[in-house]
Amino acid sequence: MLIRLHKLAITCIPLLLCILLCSGCSNHNQQTSNVINLRMSVFGAKQESDLANALARKFEKTHPNIKVNVEPVAGTGYDVKLIMQSAANTLPDVVFLTDTLVPPFIDFKVVRNLRDFTDKDKSFNLDDIYPQMRNTGVGKDGGLYMLPRELGVVVLFYNRTLFKRAGLPDPRPDWNYDDLLRIAKKLTIKDENGRIIQYGMSAPYAWGACYSAWVIANGGSVINSQGRSTFSKPETLRALHTLTDLVTVYKVSMPPNQSLTAPGIDPFAAGKVAMIINVFPQVPQFRATMRNFDWDVQMLPAGRVKRVINIGSAGYGISSTTKHPQESWEFLKYIMSQEGQRVLGRTGSGIPALKSLANDPCWRKPNLKPHNLDAFINSVKYGMDWQTIMPLTKSEVSDAVSEAFDKVFTGQADVETAFKAADIKINRILDAESKQ
Amino acid sequence: MKIKRRMSRNERREALEGYLFVLPLLVGLVGLTLWPVIRSLMISFCQYNIMNPAKFVGGRNYIELFHDPLFWQSLKVTVIYSIVSVPLGLAAGLAVALLMNQKVRGISLFRTIYYLPAVVSGVAVSLLWVWIFNPDYGLANTALKSVGIAPQQWLSSPKTALGSLIFMSLWGVGGGMVIYLAGLQSVPGQLYEASEIDGANSLQQFRHITLPMLTPVIFYNLVMGIIGSFQVFTQAFVMTGGGPVNSTLFYVLYLYKQAFNYFHMGYASAMAWILFAIILVLTLLVFKSSSMWVYYEGERRN
């Protein structure tokens, strides 16, 4: 008996191992009768998967023949994962993406053009989406690759408690760069040893959504109509100075390598920084952590030349290889319906992208901060043309820009040297790309 | 006369079973190691972004590499790191091992404590050290302050970032320590007894007995240290992202960026093969030199 078992084991174990090895490849696609399973990939943050699951469950109620499985991608490699899935032909059906992911996801054939649906489907009203937001989902070829789910504008968050302590009134909607500098100086506080313990402001300087609009508002430009970098132009360098001087000359804005707080604690939420440049999805975090402070939002100040505000969005697309394009479109349509958009609005992590919901109570909550929600809606009309800065969102280019800012902030080079070097580098990258 | 012997039924069966058992490993080795290695060599001569079919470009990736300032920067960072951290790690590992070799009550507890950091995951360790290096709240600056030294910027300044990571590499000495400890315990006790009778003090004992007897272990730790230090990735990826101003742009981090941020797969593959050549040459050099300084038991020197 024992010997027989031994023989059985000898033949079975390797066989089992092989089966185990192979079984990993073929376990999705078990479809029962007429139910269609849609796979949807979302960015790994809990906020994202909660929203996607909420949308999916509601959608399934009215579409009993479709089931949506949400696949969160953990970590920072969301784009890499989707691009690899595209190469391996294992893409999900519905794909979460952001404005900056639109160009690479087109290049790597992750998402498909949605114009076939938006043109044909009369029940879908594309015109209700803010045109500036719609524009963020458009590719170089004019196709629409992402339906933007939210109104994304860059605004200024300010700590009203710190303003009051300094005897300052709230910033007015018509304020400008000089007002910002004046206020920031008053809000920068040193201790008896001359060490700064509170900064007037801080900004994500090297973030495309921060510096590009800032440069244009102050008379510079970042890219010309031929798609070449203009970082070395004198007017651009002057405009960059208005941003970097806040850190290096006036010392009223917090350098990017400092924090004044322990790791993981937001300096603005901790009251160590009085003003920050940020976006609406930060609101839930500040609502939860800033209980000891009164705070609000205001439109970004006008620059030396004009007011330009960076806009952007996140949204959803349909994968290039889906076997269920129609069902995926139905789901996308639901997400972009008033009902679906209200689900987003209620989470507090995004402003609906539909003009018709601009005053909807789903996201306007009078009992909660911030109160000046019109700042978001009013900023849209100053929104810069997303398409013009699209080439700068390429990760190689944004790395070159970050390097230049790093050099300036660590004192390794002045603005002129750093950005003239970046200019050469960026144009070389863009040239290499166009040659491919 | 040759006798051709046929395999008996049982022998054939046994052979078949043997192959069946190693099959999963063989499939893995060929499919998941050997094939990717060959592919990466092929891709290193191509322009390839994983979407479009690879285009043969000859040695262009290799030529471009030599004109890429960031390639030289990443090589410089990695070489500096290796030159400093490998000897430092060897010495520190040996020093800790000598301490842990004392006959003190509860020594196994100390050994465990010193070895523990070496088994913690690299990402967790990195996140821990981000805290330690925090300029305002970190342990490092608090310690400096208590002895009256001005606080440092650590990872935030291009001048100190690489040094900070080298300092942090000492965290892993426990791994080398265990191997040294094993070596120390196999040094025959009678050598020490004999030298004591001859009147040697402990420093002489260390210099003329312990160190020579440990050379095979030092040799092993040196080779592994070189290979490991040229492949440093996690710390820089998690803690600094290569910055500030590329001061911690390690070779493998730059390779990763080229491959998975810029999708220059050919370029990244070329980098990988150059790294392989560097490590191979260094390892061979160390092996060649071993006859001069590594002592094996049973070996006679003339």
pLDDT digits (tens, 9 = 90+) for B182-233: 999 989 889 999 999 999 898 999 999 999 999 999 999 999 999 999 999 9
Sorted by sequence, the CB contacts under 8 Å of residue B228 that are 6+ apart come out as none
| CA-based nearest residue in chain B for residue A195 | B136
CB-based contact, B245 to chain A, within 8 Å: yes
Cβ–Cβ of B17/A406 closer than 8 Å? no
On whether any CB of chain A is under 8 Å from the CB of B246, the answer is yes
Q: Is the dihedral of CA B284, B288, B289, B291 positive or negative?
A: positive
Chain B: closest CA distance from residue A108 (Å): 6
Task: Give the residue, A359 or B50, on which the prediction is more confident.
Answer: A359
Q: Which residues of chain A make contact with B123, given a CB cutoff of 8 A?
A: none
Answer yes or no: is A348 within a domain. Answer: yes
Structure confidence at residue A323 (pLDDT)? 95
Q: Which helix (H) or strand (E) holds B254?
A: helix B251-256
Q: What are the tokens at B269?
A: 């593959």
- The residues facing A96 across adjacent strands are A316
Q: Does the pLDDT value for residue B298 go beyond 70?
A: no
d(CA A146, CA A120): 17
- Considering only CB atoms, A262 lies closest to which of B17, B134, B156, namely B134
The stretch B20-37 carries a mean pLDDT of 94
- The pLDDT value given to residue A154: 95
From first CA to last CA, the distance across chain B in angstroms is 47
Furthest-apart CA pair in chain B: how many Å? 89
Same domain, A190 and A56: no
Helix (H) or strand (E) holding B36: helix B35-43
Q: B260 touching A, CB under 8 A?
A: yes
Q: Collapsing DSSP states into helix, strand and coil, what is residue B77?
A: helix
Q: Per the domain annotation, does A23 fall within a domain?
A: no
Q: Could you say which of A290, A325, A357 is where a domain stops?
A: A357
Q: What is the pLDDT of residue B1?
A: 53
Pick the last residue of a domain from A270, A287, A308: A308
For residues A44 and A93, membership in a common domain is answered with yes
Beta strand A94-98 pairing with A314-318: antiparallel
Q: Which two tokens stand for residue B252?
A: 């493998």
Are residue A112 and residue A171 in the same domain, yes or no? no
Q: How many residues does chain B have?
A: 302
Searching chain B, which residue's CA lies closest to the CA of residue A75?
B238
Round to whole Å and give the CA distance between B263 and B171: 34
Give domain limits for chain B.
Answer: 9-43, 62-293
Are the Cβ atoms of B262 and A396 closer than 8 angstroms?
yes
Confidence band, pLDDT 50/70/90 cuts, at residue B302: very low
Main-chain dihedrals φ then ψ at residue A96, nearest 5 degrees? -75, 140
Please tell me whether the interface predicted TM-score (ipTM) of this complex is above 0.85.
no
Q: Is B126 helix (H, G, I), strand (E, B) or coil?
A: helix
CATH code given to domain B62-293:
1.10.3720.10
Residue B52 pLDDT: 83
Please tell me the predicted confidence (pLDDT) of residue B137.
84
pLDDT the model gives residue A58? 95
Q: Which of B50, B137, B257 is nearest residue A83 as measured by Cβ atoms?
A: B50
Closest CA to A215 of A280, A310, A298, A135: A310
Q: Are A209 and A333 in contact (CB under 8 A)?
A: no
Pairwise CB contact (< 8 Å): A407 & B245: yes
- Which chain A residues have a beta carbon less than 8 Å from that of B135? 258-259
Q: Which residues of B touch A87 (CB under 8 A)?
A: 50-51
Are residues A259 and B134, on separate chains, in Cβ contact within 8 Å? Answer: yes
Query: Does B158 sit behind a cis peptide bond, omega within 30 degrees of 0 on the bond before it?
Result: no
Contact B150/A at CB under 8 A: no
Q: Who among B27, B51, B157 is closest to A108 (CB)? A: B51
Of B115, B224, B129, B121, the C-alpha closest to B167 is B129
Contact status of B124 with chain A (Cβ, < 8 Å): no
Q: Is residue A87 located within the same domain as residue A170?
A: no
Same domain (yes/no): A264, A188: yes
The answer as to whether A31 is a domain residue is no
Q: Which chain B residues are Cβ-neighbours of A77 within 8 angstroms?
A: 260
Side chain identity at A88, as an amino acid letter? A
Q: Sort out which chain B residues have CB atoms less than 8 A from A260's CB and list them.
A: 136
Sign of the dihedral defined by the CA atoms of residues B225, B228, B233, B239, in that order: negative
Q: How many residues does chain A have?
A: 436
Residue B296: which pLDDT band, with cuts at 50, 70 and 90? confident
The reported pLDDT for the residue numbered B136 is 83
Report if residue A378 sits inside a domain.
no
* Residue appearing with tokens 């160190």: B211
Within a 10 A sphere around the Cβ of B19, how many other Cβ atoms?
11
> In the 3-class helix/strand/coil scheme, how is chain A assigned residue by residue?
CHHHHHHHHHHHHHHHHHHHHHHCCCCCCCCCCCCEEEEEEEECCHHHHHHHHHHHHHHHHHCCCEEEEEEEECCCCHHHHHHHHHHHCCCCCEEEEEHHHHHHHHHCCCECCCHHHHHHCCCCCHHHECHHHHHHHECCCCCECCEECECEECEEEEEHHHHHHCCCCCCCCCCEHHHHHHHHHHHCEECCCCCEEEEEEECCCCCHHHHHHHHHHCCCCCECCCCCECCCCHHHHHHHHHHHHHHHCCCCECCCCCCCCCCCCCCCCCCCEEEEEECHHHHHHHHHHCCCCCEEEECCCECCCCCCECEECEEEEEECCCCCHHHHHHHHHHHCCHHHHHHHHHHCCCCECEHHHCCCCCCCCCCCCCCCCHHHHHHHHHECCHHHHHHHHCHHHHHHHHHHHHHHHCCCCCHHHHHHHHHHHHHHHHHHHHHC
Whether A284 and A166 map to the same domain: the answer is yes
In terms of DSSP bridges, do strands A36-43 and A66-73 run parallel, antiparallel, or are they unpaired? parallel
B137: nearest CB among A77, A87, A262: A262
Q: Inspect the interface and report whether the beta carbons of B153 and A18 lie closer than 8 Å.
A: no
pLDDT of A24: 47
CATH code of the domain containing A111: 3.40.190.10
Q: Which residues does chain B have within 8 Å of residue A406's beta carbon, measured at their own beta carbons?
A: 158, 243-245
Q: Report the amino acid identity of residue B278.
A: I
| Structural domain boundaries enclosing A300 | 155-203+253-308
Are residues A41 and A129 part of one domain? yes
B56 at A interface, C-beta within 8 A: no
Tell me if B151 sits within 8 A of B135, measured CB to CB: yes
Residues A189 and A295 in one domain: yes
How far A154 CA sits from the closest chain B CA (Å)?
25
Say yes or no: A184 and A89 in one domain.
no
The pLDDT of residue B2 is 59
User: What whole-number distance in Å separates Cα of residue B35 and Cα of residue B25?
Assistant: 14
Asked if A108's CB is within 8 angstroms of B50's CB, the reply is yes
Cβ separation B136–A259 shorter than 8 A: yes
Q: Is residue A258 domain-shared with residue A185, that is, in the same domain?
A: yes
Instruction: Please report residues of B whose CB lies closer than 8 A to that of A407.
Output: 245
The structure tokens listed for B97 are: 């091992």
Write down the pLDDT at residue A2: 47
Look at residue A13 in the predicted model and tell me its pLDDT: 57
Q: For A17-66, what is each residue's pLDDT tens digit?
A: 555 555 544 444 444 568 999 999 999 888 899 999 999 999 999 999 99
- Residue B135, chain A, CB below 8 Å: the answer is yes
C-alpha distance from B267 to closest chain A C-alpha (Å): 13
Q: Within a 10 A sphere around the Cβ of B80, how many other Cβ atoms?
A: 13
Shortest Cα–Cα distance, A406 to chain B (Å): 6
A303 and A328 inside one domain:
no
CA angle A412, A395, B77 (to 5 degrees): 45
Whole-number percent of chain B with pLDDT over 70: 97
Residue B25 contacts A where some CB pair is shorter than 8 Å: no
Choose the closest CB to A406 out of B17, B130, B245. B245
CB contact under 8 A, A14 and B27: no
How many whole angstroms separate alpha carbon B272 and alpha carbon A433?
A: 23
Distance CA A278, CA A207 (A): 11
Are B219 and B201 within 8 A, CB to CB?
no
pLDDT at res. A26: 47
Mean of all residue pLDDT scores within chain B: 91
- Helices B35-43 and B265-293, interaxial angle, to 10°? 120
Examine the pLDDT at B170 and tell me if it is beyond 60. Answer: yes
pLDDT digits (tens, 9 = 90+) for B271-282: 999 999 999 999
**Buried b / exposed e along B174-187 (16+ C-beta atoms within 10 A):** bbbbbbbbebbeee
Residue in B239, B250, B213 with CA at minimum distance from that of residue B97: B213
**Could you tell me the pLDDT band of residue B121, with boundaries at 50, 70 and 90?**
confident
Choice between A436 and B110, residue whose per-residue pLDDT is larger = B110
Number of domains forming the structure of chain A: 2
Place of tokens 């970042």: A222
On whether both A87 and A180 belong to a single domain, the answer is no
Specify the amino acid at residue B238. V
Per-residue pLDDT reduced to its tens digit, B132-152:
998 888 899 999 989 988 888
What pLDDT sits at residue A251?
96
Q: Rounding to the nearest 10 degrees, give the CA dihedral for residues A391, A393, A397, A402.
A: 140
Could you read off the pLDDT tens digit of each residue along chain A, which spans 436 residues? Answer: 445 555 555 555 555 555 555 554 444 444 456 899 999 999 988 889 999 999 999 999 999 999 999 999 987 789 999 999 998 999 999 999 999 999 999 999 999 999 999 999 999 999 999 999 999 999 989 999 999 999 999 999 999 999 999 999 999 999 999 999 999 999 999 999 888 999 999 999 999 889 999 999 999 999 998 889 999 999 999 999 999 999 999 999 999 888 888 888 899 999 999 999 999 999 999 999 998 999 999 999 999 999 999 999 999 999 999 999 999 999 999 999 999 999 999 988 899 999 999 999 999 998 999 999 999 999 999 998 888 888 888 889 999 999 999 999 999 999 999 999 999 999 999 988 877 6
